[in-house]
Amino acid sequence: MNPQKTNWHNLPPETLTTNLQVDIKQGLSETDVQQRLQQYGVNRLTPQRGKSPLRLMFEQINQPLVYILLAAAGVTAFLEEWVDSSVIFGVVLINAIIGFIQEANALKAIDALSRVLTVTSTVLRNGQRRSISATDLTVGDVVFLQSGDKVPADLRLLQIRELQIDESALTGESVPVGKSIATLNDDTVLADRCNMAYSSTLVTYGSGLGIVVEVGDRTEIGRINSLLSNTIELETPLTKKISQFSQLLLWVIMGLAALTFAIGVWRGQALLDMFMASVALAVGAIPEGLPAALTITLAIGVSRMAKRNAIIRKLPAVETLGSTTVICSDKTGTLTQNQMTVQALYAGEQLFDITGSGYTPNGEIGLKGKIVAHSDYPALMECLKAGLLCNDARLIAEPDNWRIEGDPTEGALQEKMGSSL
């Protein structure tokens, strides 16, 4: 087996099975699995290196305005102005604690979500179908796919039956992609590799069989994960303005303090008296309440977002969302709720209106503005039965809403047809 990166979409099935040393009718043996797990590793993305508590706390005070406040607290303490020094230092400490707690809680929530979202897969091993955790997959495993499954690794498809896969997480295209088993040209771009199924994408329709060709960080989604770990964190509009304001304020305060000191000495005042007066002026000019006000305001925004099930790791990110004025969206419609709803039905040469929205099984059938009983219209009944029975989607009730597994169109048909019958 060749551990180097391979254009799997360009290999004929016979060459693929030969290179991977696997029989698609028997699958891998337990001995093969253990050897390949040692060679290729566990089918899991390498988690990004987390931040230590000390670094998280340091990031909360790594701001120009906070440095000014710390300097003011130190100078006032040197002048034995203990009350002023304690108040300024307390403000800095409270700001740092609030920011630290918020970011630590967000990181814990994100980590908890990643542990909960486990994926199981149906594989062929020793000639028998088995359901195993996706992390136990290895290169050469024969994997079965069906509607509602999450693709557990990068697969080269060998058998399909009207297979369609939602690859929006990888390519951005929200429309499911129809798959085939034809061998493709070597230079075929990723979005057009219809004989491949990629990790973390969702099977919306049909079924298929494929061989695992890449696992873990070597998958396409693993490459994206590696790129994300090297991204540069950009400043938000608020942090940029605060940084600019802090630097400007620093120079203005230092300039006024120096000017006060120079004028006092020029007029014959004692050097020590003028130095203390200049320091008092600098301390008084620093808006020590500004960081606290900003932190509290942002914390309120984060709290409100959390009530809407939106996890925000950094406080300034709330301001970034609030300052957005233009949203650009392409044809994929990624800003929609990604729900389809049946609103009209034509049967027996009559057009029926259907109320309700989303996947919640409710709504009524109307004809010319009046609610009607479906049993009074045989053609309508047959149409409803066809939409319900010729359907592979699943409608699942959750505590707060309903969701589907499978093709969105079939889910919309099942929701309306099932609630009407």
C-alpha distances (whole Å) from 213 to each of 62, 130, 140, 196 are 45, 19, 6, 10
At 376-396, the pLDDT tens digits run 888 988 888 888 888 777 777
List the catalytic residue out of 186, 330, 376, 392: 330
At 267-282, the pLDDT tens digits run 888 887 787 788 777 7
At a CB cut-off of 8 Å and minimum separation 6, what does 151 contact? 145, 165, 197, 198, 199, 200, 201, 202, 203
What is the DSSP annotation of 173-236?
--SPEE-------TT--GGG-TTEE-TT-EEEEEEEEEEEEE-GGGSHHHHHHHHHTTPPPPPP
Count other C-beta atoms under 10 Å from residue 336's C-beta. 10
> What CA–CA distance (Å, rounded) separates 420 from 352?
12
- CATH, range 13-43+137-227: 2.70.150.10
pLDDT number for residue 1: 45
pLDDT number for residue 248: 84
Task: Look at residues 212, 241, 246, 202 and name the one whose alpha carbon lies nearest to residue 404.
Answer: 202
Q: Angle of helix 289-307 relative to helix 64-78, nearest 10 degrees?
A: 140
- pLDDT beyond 70 at 156: yes
At 332-341, the pLDDT tens digits run 555 555 677 8
> What CA–CA distance (Å, rounded) separates 72 from 246?
14
Q: What is the pTM of this model?
A: 0.57
**What number is the average pLDDT over the span 113-141?**
81
Q: pLDDT tier at 137 (50, 70, 90 boundaries)? A: very high
The strand pair at 128-133 and 120-125 is best described as antiparallel
At a CB cut-off of 8 Å and minimum separation 6, what does 377 contact? 347, 348, 350, 352
Contact call for residues 302 and 278 (beta carbons, < 8 A): no
Domain boundaries defined on the chain? 13-43+137-227, 53-113+234-322, 344-420
> What CA–CA distance (Å, rounded) separates 348 from 402?
31
At 354-381, the pLDDT tens digits run 887 777 777 788 888 888 887 888 898 8
Most confident stretch, 21-35, 37-51, 294-308: 21-35
154 is catalytic: no
At 172-224, the pLDDT tens digits run 777 889 999 999 998 888 888 999 999 888 888 888 999 999 998 888 888 88
> Which helix (DSSP H) or strand (DSSP E) does residue 20 occupy?
helix 13-20
At 286-324, the pLDDT tens digits run 666 666 666 667 767 777 777 776 666 666 677 677 777
